[in-house]
Structure 1
Amino acid sequence: MILDLLFPNHCIHCNRIIDPELLICDLCLTQIHFTHYNYFESNPIKEKCSLFFPVENAYALIQFEEEGLSRQIVHELKYKSREKAGKILADWTIERLEFKDEKPDLLMSVPLHPKKLKERGYNQLHLFTETLSSFYNIPFNHQLIKRNHYSKAQALKDKQHRLESVNTFSITQPITGKHILLIDDVFTTGNTVSSVAWEILNAGNNKVSVLVMAVDI
């Protein structure tokens, strides 16, 4: 309480003082471009995924814009130690995404390499995934797949290098006959999601759907 008075939380965009649990103020929230995609119907991210692997359903929460607030939010989460932003993004997702009677069997987020995890101190997708898991009552598994190679941030790579990843991930546990919802932060080329998806599909008679925080296509 005293710390909140001495060091109040500010909106990352306009710098207004806001509740300690928030990331942006209500006014700035109106500037975020939510996708309004239908998880069960054709949409841009599902169409892009289907070019690379058999995808069941797909959803993106917000549009990723290089000069927009969405980019600022994702960068706060990934590079500025604002892990709690993951819960806020999950809460926004919960307000907009309904699985009806077709819930996936398991939530799985794209892993970091152990070296990158040590550098960052947390996986930016874990709190997001765990918040969704709790609300929808769907189990999650953070150990099902591992990243085999350490690499610099995707945001710092040029497009060609992003497309050159080979054998980036591998399955660590037997899994078959499951519908897995694969979770990532930003969908750009689809290379990362595709690499993980094929590991899941090749592991057994599994199905893959995709959920990302932001889409840039």
Structure 2
Amino acid sequence: MKLHVFDSCPFCVRVKAVIGLKGIECEISPMVLGEMPTSLEGKLERFSVPVLEETHPETGEISLMVESLDIIRKLDQLHVSPLNQPMFDSYELSEALELRLEQLKPVTAQLLYPRMPKLNLPELATAQALDSFVESRKGVLGQSIEQALEKTELYLPQLEQQLELMEQEIDVEGLISGRRSLTIDDIAAFAELRNFTMIAELTLSENMQAYIEQISARPHIATYPPITR
């Protein structure tokens, strides 16, 4: 199996976390923005990441799967036995987390997109990919990434308020204290929170920082170096 990803894509991180947690043999294949891998050309109705590519061992036939939660369901139920049970009881995010992630989108775009070109991301490894990213973000942000970066202090309180609410809704303390087990909400929340580690000006609560570190360590998914304006 091969998983095609962008490093900064939270949906890709969701799947990578499960692969790491379960110890599944799967090649992680970073993609460059604007460059379609040959094995995927003409085979997707619409291009999105992650893409799980699986080659049948006997026929050589290639099958593709998209949508992070569908991929996670498939991977979590591989080789199920009395000694190897699925990690999750559900593969649907809670309504509370879905709503919180939706409310986070506008402010996180303003804070994250300006920092991504400074991180040497695999998806922005070529000059063409970087130029395309910077130019396309203008329409999303309603301003240049440089202008958004200068307004960090304007957007930061909005992010911090959303994260305070998220911490309570997903019971961060319950996981780090061992009072409850890992859920699909934790995987999705971590995938978003990992990106926030690139914001040097963001101060996370002790519990939220411990939560990120605890989940990050198990599948060995590194967080980002902090980027300041």
Is this a same-fold pair by TM over 0.5?
Answer: no
User: Which protein shows a greater Rg?
Assistant: 2
Q: Which has the higher strand share?
A: 1
